[in-house]
Amino acid sequence: MRSLFTHPGFAAGVRAIAGPALGTVALGLVTGVAMARSGLPMGAVLAMSLLVFASASQLACLPMILAGAPLWVIVLTALMLNVRFVVFSAHWRRYFGLLPRPQRLGLAYLAGDPVYVRFMQRYPRRAPDQLAYFLGLALFNWAAWQVASLGGIFLADAIPPDWDLRFIGVLALLGLAMPMIADRPSWLVAAVAGAIGWMGQGWPFGLQVIAAIAAAMAAGHWAERRALRIATTP
């Protein structure tokens, strides 16, 4: 394992993720401040930062927890926000499916969105140095998140409350999401999700998030089936 950290692929992964990691830092800072100001016990806040490692679901579920939303709404929101990782896992299996289960679980924990995008851009198919490159991407991105998230937690009192950090979080999410929108189906999915989210801004308990994800999944399924019909039509 030590040889992976000295492999040229590891350094290449660090260089490739350095730019996108700025978005991870912004999200980590925003999420850390939001968790620190949520009123949750510090132990729960620190555990969430270190173990959950999922900014979108944390930012979406925190207001629901504070508003006393039903547990099933919170759980369903987190599951739907993270369902994309099921799709990612189907792709990761081609590269790491032969590794022992403990290693696969560790890699899955580290496999965030920018890691997936950068890795797939470099490796459309398996290659000998893929694991070293993945670790360079994933560990740097994880470290950037943890430093920023913990910084946001411990510096929350020093940041003026009138600073609307949510805007920074939105920009960072857009920066992470835009590289994934590369074809017509993905543009359709993004447009549908954005429209539903905008129209449902006043809905209680963040239910517009669930509705936007469900509508986006339906739109993506329809777009893929339509593309397949067109491709197979003589």
128-181, pLDDT tens digit by residue?
A: 889 999 999 999 999 999 999 999 888 877 776 666 556 665 666 666 666 667
Model confidence pLDDT, tens digit, residues 173-228: 666 666 667 677 778 888 888 888 888 877 776 677 778 878 887 887 788 788 77
- Cα angle vertex 56, ends 173, 53, to 5°? 110
Residue type at position 223: A
CA separation for the pair 158, 222 (Å, rounded): 48
3-state SS, residue 201: coil
Domain ranges, ordered by start, for the chain? 2-74+82-180, 182-234
Q: Is the dihedral of CA 87, 88, 93, 99 positive or negative?
A: negative
> How far apart are alpha carbons 142 and 66 in whole angstroms?
27
What pLDDT, on the 0 to 100 scale, is given for residue 132?
A: 94
Are the beta carbons of 156 and 168 closer than 8 angstroms? no
Q: Hey, what are 101's tokens?
A: 């289960």
What is the pTM for the complete model shown? 0.74
